[in-house]
Amino acid sequence: MQYYTKATDVMENKGELKYISTIVFSLLIIGFVICYTMVSKADPDMDDLESIKQENEEQLSSYQEDISGLDESKVSLENLVSGLNSELAVINKNINDLEKQISDKNSEIEKTEKELESAILIEQEQYEDMKLRIQFMYELREDSYIEVFLSGGSIADSLNKIEYFSELTKYDRDMLEKYKQIQAEITKKEELLETEKQELEVLKANLESQKVLIREKINSTNEQIVMYASQIEDAEAKALEYEKKIEANVLAIEEESRRIEEESILEAERKERESREKASREQASREEASRNEHGGNEEETTSSQTQKPSYEAQADDLDMLAALIECEAGDQSYYGMLCVGAVVMNRIASHRYPNTLYEVIYQPYQFTPVTVSGRFAIVLARGANETCYKAAREVLEEGNIVGNWLFFRMNDGSREGEIIGDHVFY
């Protein structure tokens, strides 16, 4: 009867084990379907993100080409203005030279006018003198000349008087001729200078007109430059806008890829945990059956987890870890810095991640300062601050792993986990 009871218990235990195994197996199938659905759903999102990113990159390329063309046009216009300014400088110099020539000509004209006034005075004096002599000769009449000649005391005296009258007449004729020549020469010179002055004024007016024309061209060109500068500014603004969109696309793609990988890892961990729990339950059932079969004298055995192997740091690991801590948690508490370092070391210890610090840090879609912003490279080049080095040294060399998290992100309320500072670790 006791044997029959034990056999019945064993059969019932086996039935329960079979029933539990069926439930666990069903749960695994359901979990796999859910995971597959999530991944399948995530894939079109990634395709959409990649497509949007490509469209933004093409638009950015188009704007950059427009900017390049506008820059070339702007340079051409600036060269045109420079050439026009040089031409204007030459014309201004010519105008200055012509103005000086005009000033010199005006001085000559002024001098000539003074000479002309002096000549006119002389001409008037000669004219008055000639009138008196003509009047005297007219009043003296021909017979008076004879009386003058005959009134001489001697023939020599009379001849001298005749010679005197002859010389006087010749002098009058010479002075008259000289006056005519001076008057003609002054008139000619005055006309010449007046003509030259008019010609210079015409040249000056023409050059001034050219100067105005060039200024108009320069103003027009400057307006074009302003217009192109405005277009360039607009194009640059739009290019910057698309650069920001592309950066947002990259961040979105990185975030989605990280999410997919996280979900995959978490799902795998869940399956492993369920598998361990199932194995533990089966082991417990077997042990219970064995105890029942042998009178319950067997001692309970427990499974122990395999210890994580210790990591042997490479030459540059401390610099890289300190730089990453500064980029991710430089504004957080010292404990927050240790937590970031712990995530890196936990990933190294996990069989689902690379087994070196370098590979973990540079793994795609994991740490934004490394794969997107490029800030990690800057901090690594100059060296992290001393506090971040201290935290990295404590985690890497002293093995102070403060948690078992594999992930962390900014705490926006979308993820459950341990909140430390501005981050949530999970």
Please indicate whether residue 72 or residue 141 has the higher confidence score (pLDDT): 72
> Are 98 and 209 contained in the same domain?
yes
The pLDDT of residue 163 is 72
Radius of gyration of the chain (CA): 58
Last residue of one domain, picked from the residues 219, 247, 274: 219
Please indicate whether residue 225 or residue 9 has the higher confidence score (pLDDT): 225
Please indicate whether residue 180 or residue 304 has the higher confidence score (pLDDT): 180
Last residue of one domain, picked from the residues 190, 219, 248: 219
> Are 15 and 48 contained in the same domain?
yes
Rounded CA gap, 168 and 174, in Å? Answer: 10
Mean pLDDT of 299-305: 38
* Domains: count for the chain: 3
Residue 9 located in a structural domain: yes
5 pLDDT exceeds 50? Answer: no
> Are 126 and 203 contained in the same domain?
yes
Percentage above 90 pLDDT, the chain: 23
Rounded CA gap, 1 and 16, in Å? Answer: 22
Mean pLDDT of 164-186: 75
31 pLDDT exceeds 80? Answer: no
Rounded CA gap, 85 and 83, in Å? Answer: 5
> Are 107 and 18 contained in the same domain?
no
What type of residue is 372? V
Strand residue runs (E) in 13-135:
none
Please indicate whether residue 26 or residue 273 has the higher confidence score (pLDDT): 273
> Are 140 and 63 contained in the same domain?
no
Rounded CA gap, 378 and 376, in Å? Answer: 5
- pLDDT band for position 148 (50/70/90)? low
Residue 178 located in a structural domain: yes
**Residues of 185-197 as b/e, b for ≥16 C-beta within 10 angstroms?**
ebeeeeeebeeee
> Are 352 and 322 contained in the same domain?
yes
Judge whether 102 and 205 are in contact, CB under 8 Å: no
The pLDDT of residue 214 is 75
The whole-model pTM stands at 0.41
Q: How many CB atoms lie within 10 A of CB 103?
A: 11
Alpha-carbon separation of residue 408 from 341, 397, 398, 417 (angstroms): 11, 22, 22, 9
Residue 153 located in a structural domain: yes
Task: Please report, for the domain that includes residue 390, its CATH number.
Answer: 1.10.10.2520
Residue 311 located in a structural domain: no
Residue 361 located in a structural domain: yes
> Are 287 and 323 contained in the same domain?
no
What type of residue is 341? G
> Are 276 and 212 contained in the same domain?
no
Mean pLDDT of 341-353: 94
> Are 198 and 130 contained in the same domain?
yes
330 pLDDT exceeds 50? Answer: yes
The residues near 267 (Cβ < 8 Å, ≥ 6 apart) are: 31, 35
296 pLDDT exceeds 80? Answer: no
Residue 300 located in a structural domain: no
> Are 215 and 98 contained in the same domain?
yes
User: Per-residue DSSP letters for 149-213?
Assistant: HHTSSSHHHHHHHHHHHHHHHHHHHHHHHHHHHHHHHHHHHHHHHHHHHHHHHHHHHHHHHHHHH
Last residue of one domain, picked from the residues 219, 249, 270: 219
The pLDDT of residue 274 is 78
By C-alpha distance, which of 311, 316, 407, 328 is closest to 358? Answer: 316
Alpha-carbon separation of residue 350 from 283, 304, 360, 404 (angstroms): 26, 17, 11, 10
> Are 23 and 118 contained in the same domain?
no
SS3 of residue 263 by DSSP: helix
- pLDDT band for position 325 (50/70/90)? very high
- pLDDT band for position 103 (50/70/90)? confident
Residue 356 located in a structural domain: yes
Length of the chain: 426
> Are 148 and 174 contained in the same domain?
yes
Residue 84 located in a structural domain: no
Mean pLDDT of 253-279: 72
The pLDDT of residue 136 is 67
- pLDDT band for position 359 (50/70/90)? very high
Judge whether 402 and 284 are in contact, CB under 8 Å: no
What type of residue is 349? A
The pLDDT of residue 209 is 84
415 pLDDT exceeds 80? Answer: yes
118 pLDDT exceeds 90? Answer: no
Judge whether 388 and 326 are in contact, CB under 8 Å: yes
Average pLDDT over the chain, rounded to whole? Answer: 75
199 pLDDT exceeds 90? Answer: no
Segments forming the whole domain that contains residue 387: 317-425
